[in-house]
Structure 1
Amino acid sequence: MNLKEALWSKTTDSNEPPSPSSSSPRDPESEVAAAAATSAVEELVNSLKKQRIYREVTLALRTGLRDARAEFSFLRVRGLRFLLKSLRSIAQSDSSIGLFSQTQSIPELQVVPVLFEHSLKETADEKVGSLDHIFSVEPMKVKSPSTDSEVALALRVLEGCCLLHPESTHLAHQHKAIPVLMNVLSTRGVLEQDACLDALISIMLDSSANQMDFEACNGIEEVAELIRDKEVDENLRLKCGEFLLLLIGHLNGRERSPMATIHEEFQGKSLLILGECEDVTVLDQHSGGG
């Protein structure tokens, strides 16, 4: 989705007031009336422009979410790519970001629940609980499993939603986002793990509930295991180190709050794990440290 400027929003020569040098002197009342008319036209143009952008945003969300709910992975991938492209276009304008935030209060336009109900849904949740479908005339709906590219795209869309709309972190928490993402981090490939680390940062940003879930899932230890594993891709190990350093920096920058104890535990564990890693010097140099 590319938000383009409407043709009627462009100023034309006919809409511009005549210059004083090219017109005869006018009385004050006519000048006030002309100024009021110009102001009214500008308000109308701005209102129409806002309505147009809102329609484009909602249309993009409906189109992407329709495919993201599909039963086949290739359709869900198409929908996720469209959503990701739309989020990148929305991020270019403060007004469109505000309109996107408004849409996320409408249940049928919320993006995060669709991600966890379809692309990020764990396979264990799809086990057949009964055999009633065998004796029924109704055909059983078969849903194709999520591919690697689908999971990676869903994580990128999740990251974008949380960055553009901070309240999406609460929706992610309601869908147990941290346990789901930690499962992705420990079982999926490099493509998904790389996107997962970025998504973890976005959903834990200023979200104490998700930070508590990360602590409960022993998230720091899981990330440390990837750093220690020599068979893991070197770039991924480096990104895991950056993740821990960024986590420490974020917690250091927060004011003391009722969550201070958990933050201090995060910091202590992260520093201890980084100290145990052989690559800590390389990680520190790469992040700009001494």
Structure 2
Amino acid sequence: MNSETLDLRAKAHWVWRETLAIHRRAPETRLASSLSAVEIFVALYYGGVLRFDASQPLAAHRDRCVISKGHGSICMYPILADLGFFSKDELLRVCHSGGFLGGIPDPVIPGYETVNGSLGHGLGVATGMALGLKRLDSDRQVFVVSGDGELHEGANWEAAMFASQHRLDNLNLIIDDNGISMLGYTDDIVSHHSLSERLTAFGWDCRRVDGHDVLAVQAGLLEMKATTAGKPKALIAKTLKGRGVPGLENAPLSHILNPKPELIDSLLEQLP
């Protein structure tokens, strides 16, 4: 096992712990949705995928990363603080007076591109960004992280058709396919069994990956980014909502459940 393997896995474990600690201090945050996406964000920001400048979050030479599932990205907070987008002291003020890190992130936070409170619009916004960059003949790419539940929104499929029509091969969609939305299992609402086939039919280049294998996610993202064949691209990451928390992991109502503070304390004490 090389140092890169250790580093990415260690980072993912650290981010998981920090996300639990943030939720312990700010129980209004959405824990389950954030735990399913940990490895996705670790691979994006530590795995050599995104081009960014923490000292200039809006620098023209950056890749764009749209977090469509904003409520499910609390795990981004420790990553951005660790990389220098803002002080680590802010992690102690999430959802508290004097802090700017809220339960639903917005662009006041360095590192966030868009308003993320209304689900189902991230892909459309990212598609517009990708088209704009194409028109500017820029080699920058656009990434968008979406939950599977928000793909029930029809606007996503309008964006998918538009991206294919305009051959936006600088657009990269990462789907946190955790199988649960606010109302329960997505397959009981609108099935996603054939998600990759549906996107392929819309003219997308699709690949699937174990969303909790951070090295597989990194490899999938790097391969996707390097592919420029006139098609928008999607990485479907199979994950577990609430991963690692007893009673929360894969529970049908995990989206709105909060584990008891004593359970979080026990998990933080037991694990290095």
TM-score (norm 1): 0.29
Which has the larger Rg? 1
Q: Which has the higher contact order (CA 8 A, sep 6+)?
A: 2
TM-score (norm 2): 0.31
Could you say which structure has the higher helix fraction?
A: 1
